[in-house]
Amino acid sequence: MLDQKLIRENPTFVEENLSLRGKVFDITSLHKLTLKKKEIDIEISNLQSESKKLSKIIGQEIRNSNNSNSRDLNALKEKGNNYRIKISKFEEKKRTLDEKLQDEISRLPNFPSNDAPYGEDESKNKEIKVWGDPLRKDNLKTHWELGENLNLFDFTKTTKISKSRFITLTGNGARLERALINFMLDVHSNNGYLELIPPALINSESLKGSGQLPKFSNESFKCDKDDLWLSPTAEVPLTAFHKDEIIDPKLLPLKYVAYSPCFRREAGSYGRDTKGLIRLHQFNKVELYWFSDPKKSLEAHKEITNDAESILKKLDLPYRLVDICTGDLGFSSSRTFDLEVWLPSSKCYREISSCSNCLDFQARRSSIRTKIDKKTSYIHTLNGSGLAIGRTMAAILENGQQTDGSVKIPEALVPYFGSTFIKTA
């Protein structure tokens, strides 16, 4: 969430920074609301000051008078009561205005970093580096063809259970998924992350805190009878884990890794990636999350990205690192590095992790602070997939496919999977 004081005092600066995202932002009406709120705050403060002064006068009159019901004293009490009525009316106006302000400000995205490439869409994203030797051959099978041939999952039967865009993993498919989850959790835990398994059902405040609500309500599944939603990513409950806290700076950075099922409607993506494991309504993910000292979050961003990269390197999966341009940034992110894994069948790289520095945007929404040099300030939060499990499985199947129809398992994963190859029965 952006600073309300900044919006009030420098609206032009706010509009210019938001417009780096590739579209025009007009916050004129919002700016007027912030000015109105400031006027009400001043009015309440003045009334409270006058009321306090009057209370002292009334107290002195009571002590100095033998008649507590004198006409002058009653007049003073009536005046004091009028102050309280006025204050109450202004406070009610303030509550109404606060709700409207919070709603409108919560719909504004984060400022893009000055270091992010400028551009209106993904065509302006900047490739930083390429790692590995991409498999480039003709007539390669897709991961869903390989999966069906090897009986790793079943889409057809799943539609009887649920609907399209869901999957049932079977046999070695379920085994491979479990192996990947355990492998990733072990790697990150051994690298200093504390493992958490958060709830899959989360409340609206958690979604607001991380930036999913109110803007992206159509992307999540909600339970009609409860204020609970199916979590779209472990980033949401991990942000809320320290909501309304002041974290001791000696504990920073706090580094968490969490496995979680994720649920997304994928609204607006109909017709894209309808086959396979790339764009499902339910998928598993291992998430990395940092609570960082504000002065150290730029370096933390490099580290969390390196930690996500390490999984791809250990699995020997070719990938590239991309610096996301200002117009393609996620809502809460100030700067994002995407890791894109090579999928040989489509001869392109596909996103498998977005590592983002949100600065104080989520912390301000969730009231997560720390004390540095005796001054309380909002903490910085960072997140990144470490990695998306389904997409990792897709990459392993396609990059590991053999001429006999089998799939070679990456060496680092063999102790978890229990075999070097997945073969037809």
Q: DSSP readout, 106-138? A: TTS-PPPPTTSPP-SSGGG-EEEEEES-----S
Amino acid at 394: A
pLDDT of amino acid 305: 98
pLDDT tens across 105-143, in order? 999 999 999 999 999 999 999 999 999 999 999 889 999
Amino acid at 173: G
Decide if pLDDT at 57 tops 90: no
Query: What residues does 341 pair with on adjacent strands?
Result: 319, 350
Query: How is residue 278 written in tokens?
Result: 């790339």
Q: What is the DSSP secondary structure assignment for residue 405, as one 8-state letter? A: S
| Gap between the Cα atoms of 166 and 277, Å rounded | 9
Read off the pLDDT band of 333 (50, 70, 90).
very high
- List phi, psi (to 5°) of 103: -65, -45
CB 294 within 8 A of CB 380: yes
**In the chain, domain spans:** 4-105, 122-422
What average pLDDT does the segment 238-244 reach? Answer: 98
* pTM for this model (two decimals): 0.92
| Gap between the Cα atoms of 325 and 89, Å rounded | 47
What average pLDDT does the segment 167-178 reach? Answer: 97
**Looking at the domain covering 4-105, what would its CATH class be?**
mainly alpha
Of residues 88, 112, 136, the one with CA closest to residue 25: 112
The CA angle 312-315-317, to the nearest 5 degrees, is: 60
pLDDT of amino acid 425: 65
Determine if residue 49 is left, alpha or beta; phi over 0 gives left, psi from -120 to 50 gives alpha, anything else beta. Answer: alpha
Burial class of residue 53 (count of CB atoms within 10 Å of its CB; 0-12, 13-18, 19+): exposed
Query: How is residue 319 written in tokens?
Result: 């990938």
pLDDT of amino acid 268: 58
Query: How is residue 36 written in tokens?
Result: 């109105």
pLDDT of amino acid 56: 87
Count of Cβ atoms closer than 10 Å to residue 350 Cβ: 17
Of all helices (H) and strands (E), which one includes residue 205? helix 204-210
What average pLDDT does the segment 354-366 reach? Answer: 98
What percent of the chain clears pLDDT 90, i.e. is strictly above it?
A: 86
Read off the pLDDT band of 267 (50, 70, 90).
low
- Measured CA to CA in angstroms, residue 303 lies from 209, 258, 391 at distances of 24, 17, 22
pLDDT tens across 304-332, in order? 999 999 999 999 999 999 999 999 999 99
What percent of the chain clears pLDDT 70, i.e. is strictly above it?
A: 97
Domain 122-422 annotated CATH 3.30.930.10 = yes
Please tell me the chain's helix, strand, coil percentages from 3-state DSSP, rounded to the nearest 5.
45, 20, 35
Decide if pLDDT at 83 tops 80: yes
Query: What residues does 293 pair with on adjacent strands?
Result: none
Listed in order, strand segments (DSSP E) in 37-151 are: 126-131
What average pLDDT does the segment 326-343 reach? Answer: 98
Of residues 366, 265, 23, 377, the one with CA closest to residue 15: 23
pLDDT of amino acid 269: 57
pLDDT of amino acid 73: 78
pLDDT of amino acid 275: 86
Of all helices (H) and strands (E), which one includes residue 378? strand 375-378
- Collapse the DSSP code of 200 into the 3-class scheme (helix H, G, I; strand E, B; otherwise coil) and give the result: coil
Per the prediction, the chain carries an average pLDDT of 94
Q: Establish whether domains 4-105 and 122-422 are of one fold.
A: no
The whole-angstrom distance between residue 97's C-alpha and the CA centroid of its chain comes to: 27
| Gap between the Cα atoms of 311 and 286, Å rounded | 11
